[in-house]
């Protein structure tokens, strides 16, 4: 009896599977047929890796979608040409590198330094991460250029000059401009205020006296009128530098504090009454 040809892959007990060849299978029963098939050994190929979440993406882009049917990236999937649809697994960016808070330090400046500008050098001590992963401390000198006209609260930032730590960017260092208290002047915007004490006799009779200026030097101020409460003289161009208008400065506002005598003799009282009695 001749068996009909079987196309494709067939099996015989001696040579295993054979492709595209005609064979005739003769078995007395089905049990004998299956008994002749050798058992399959498990595959030694390791299972495909499961997609894992990446902590950081250098260029800021999200991870490519992964075909969850076989674990291959979408553009490398063996079934990417299949018409079957499935929802890809997408991972958004999770950055493992963090930016620590900015370190702020006050930088005190005199009114002279803020008026004329200066270069201030500040030494800081910071933590530095070595190539071997150790943290050491080192001193660093930072140069801060103070421009004419800067005011308190102005901030100067040095990026990445702060402490370093594993898995993080280096911290920034910010200097906040603070004004030192001056012994003579008080700043109000771009103007300076100065208070001068004078005796009563000069307040009543007029006077001429030197006025100190910021940065050193004096100028002579003449007053030929009575100095009363609230009296003020304005000296233009002797205030603080104007940051918005380079080369220009605010005003110096001079106020006066009249010193009254603590005691008067009877003769002085009589003389004062005779002179001031009709002044009303």
pLDDT for the residue numbered 265: 87
Neighbours of 115 (CB within 10 A): 23
Residues 136-147 pLDDT 10s: 999 999 999 999
The reply to whether the predicted model has a pTM over 0.75 is: no
Q: Helix (H, G, I), strand (E, B), or coil: what is residue 243?
A: coil
pLDDT for the residue numbered 97: 75
Neighbours of 148 (CB within 10 A): 17
Q: Which helix (H) or strand (E) holds 214?
A: none
Q: Helix (H, G, I), strand (E, B), or coil: what is residue 187?
A: strand
Residues 25-54 pLDDT 10s: 444 455 554 455 555 544 444 343 333 333
What's the DSSP call for residue 50?
P
- Rg (C-alpha) for the chain, rounded Å, is 46
HSE of 52, CA atoms in CB hemisphere, 13 A: 5
> What are 15's two structure tokens?
């040579």
Neighbours of 259 (CB within 10 A): 12
* Spatial CB neighbours of 175, under 8 Å, sequence gap ≥ 6: 104, 105, 106, 107, 122, 142, 144, 155, 156, 157, 158
Residue 130 near residue 136, CB atoms below 8 Å: yes
pLDDT for the residue numbered 184: 95
pLDDT for the residue numbered 35: 54
> Where are the CATH 2.60.260.20 domain residues in the chain?
103-179, 185-270
Residue 217 near residue 178, CB atoms below 8 Å: no
Please give the Cα distance from 236 to 250 (Å, whole number): 7
| DSSP characters over 27-40 | -SSHHHHHHTSPPP
Q: Which residue has the tokens 């000069």?
A: 202
- As a CATH number, domain 103-179 is 2.60.260.20
pLDDT for the residue numbered 83: 47
Residue ranges in the chain whose pLDDT is less than 70: 1-96, 278-280
Homologous superfamily (CATH) for 185-270: Urease metallochaperone UreE, N-terminal domain (2.60.260.20)
Q: Name the CA dihedral angle for 29, 32, 33, 35, rounded to a multiple of 10 degrees.
A: 160
pLDDT for the residue numbered 119: 97
Q: Sign of the CA dihedral 21, 27, 30, 33?
A: negative
pLDDT for the residue numbered 60: 39
Please give the Cα distance from 216 to 193 (Å, whole number): 16
Q: Sign of the CA dihedral 264, 268, 274, 275?
A: negative
Neighbours of 239 (CB within 10 A): 24
Q: Helix (H, G, I), strand (E, B), or coil: what is residue 269?
A: helix
């Amino acid at each position: 009896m001749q068996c009909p040809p079987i196309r494709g892959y067939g099996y015989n007990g001696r040579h295993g599977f054979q492709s595209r060849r005609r064979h005739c299978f003769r078995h007395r029963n089905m049990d004998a047929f299956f008994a002749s098939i050798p058992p399959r050994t498990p595959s030694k190929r390791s299972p495909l890796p499961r997609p894992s979440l990446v902590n950081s993406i250098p260029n800021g882009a999200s991870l490519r979608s992964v075909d969850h049917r076989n674990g291959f990236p979408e553009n490398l999937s063996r079934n990417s040409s299949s018409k079957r649809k499935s929802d890809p697994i997408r991972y958004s960016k999770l950055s493992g590198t963090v930016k620590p808070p900015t370190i702020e330090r006050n930088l005190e400046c005199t009114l002279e330094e803020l008026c004329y500008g200066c270069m201030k050098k500040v030494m800081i001590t910071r933590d530095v991460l070595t190539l071997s992963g150790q943290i050491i401390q080192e001193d660093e000198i930072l140069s801060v250029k103070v421009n004419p006209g800067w005011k308190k609260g102005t901030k100067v930032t040095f990026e990445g000059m702060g402490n370093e730590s594993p898995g993080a960017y280096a911290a920034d260092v910010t200097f906040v401009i603070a004004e030192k208290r001056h012994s003579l002047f008080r700043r109000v915007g771009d103007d300076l205020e100065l208070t001068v004490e004078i005796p009563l006799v000069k307040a009543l009779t007029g006077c001429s006296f030197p006025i100190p200026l910021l940065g050193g030097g004096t100028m002579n101020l003449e007053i030929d009128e009575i100095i009363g409460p609230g009296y003020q003289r304005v000296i233009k161009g002797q205030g603080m530098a104007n940051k918005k208008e380079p080369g220009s400065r605010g005003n110096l506002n001079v106020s006066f504090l009249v010193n009254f005598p603590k005691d008067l003799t009877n003769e002085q009282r009589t003389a004062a009454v005779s002179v001031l009695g009709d002044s009303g």
